[in-house]
Amino acid sequence: MRVRALSWNDFEGWVELYLTRYEEIGRNPDLGVYLQPTKPTLPEEAALFGQVMKQVLAGDMVASVAEAEGKLVGVCMVARRGHHLEDRHLGDLGIALHPDWRGRGFGDALMRDALEKCRGVFEVVELKVVALNEGALRLYRKHGFEVYGREPRAFKRGDRYLDEILMRRDIEPRNPAAN
């Protein structure tokens, strides 16, 4: 397994990984990930991937990927919340592993890499997680995230509503003397 920065060459793997979500929802309707209302077409995926790479190149996103057996099996992204003087220090984190590659420490390694890359880019990282996603909650606690709130019925799939837990952690600035 290798963790590295997202690159332009990852488009195909990124699309494949994203599309597994639609299959998985059929088996696990409580899967706590967000979906586009309809499965994106390849041109739509290209536009979305272009947006992601644009943010990475502009320094407004940190994106780490996990690779195993030559395939992209996980991604962790932290995106700048806004571009105002007052909110550009905040980053929003999301992470997802391919269903066949969970529970092997990849999520842990991805979080470590992404949070290290956040130093000097963001001062606070926040995330939302559906309340019943205990695996993710444990992972986030392990990486220093603390609960600061709960958003009732924030997540709706079909007719079912789930609460979301709001978590955040500070990011230590880079030590200029260490560079």
Ligand X SMILES: CC(C)(COP(=O)(O)OP(=O)(O)OC[C@H]1O[C@@H](n2cnc3c(N)ncnc32)[C@H](O)[C@@H]1OP(=O)(O)O)[C@@H](O)C(=O)NCCC(=O)NCCS
**Binding to ligand X by residue 102, rule CB under 6 A?**
yes
**Per-residue x/- marks for ligand X, 12-51, CB under 6 A?**
--------------------xx------------------
- Answer for which of 4, 54, 142, 160 binds ligand X (CB under 6 A) is 142
Q: Which of 134, 156, 177, 179 binds ligand X (CB under 6 A)?
A: 134
Task: Choose one: 1-9, 81-89, 137-145, 152-160; the region binding ligand X (CB under 6 A).
Answer: 137-145
Residue 36 identity (one-letter amino acid): Q
Shortest reach from residue 82's CB to ligand X, in Å: 20
108 binds ligand X (CB under 6 A): yes
Residue indicated by tokens 């990930």:
33
Give residues with Cβ within 8 angstroms of 122, minimum separation 6. 62, 78, 80, 89, 90, 91, 171
Q: Which is nearer to ligand X, 56 or 110 (CB)?
A: 110
Q: Which of 3, 96, 165, 171 binds ligand X (CB under 6 A)?
A: 96
How many residues make contact with ligand X (CB under 6 A)?
20
Q: Does 82 bind ligand X (CB under 6 A)?
A: no
| Least gap, CB of 35 to ligand X (angstroms) | 12
- Which residues form the interface with ligand X (CB under 6 A)? 32-33, 95-97, 102-108, 129, 133-136, 138-139, 142
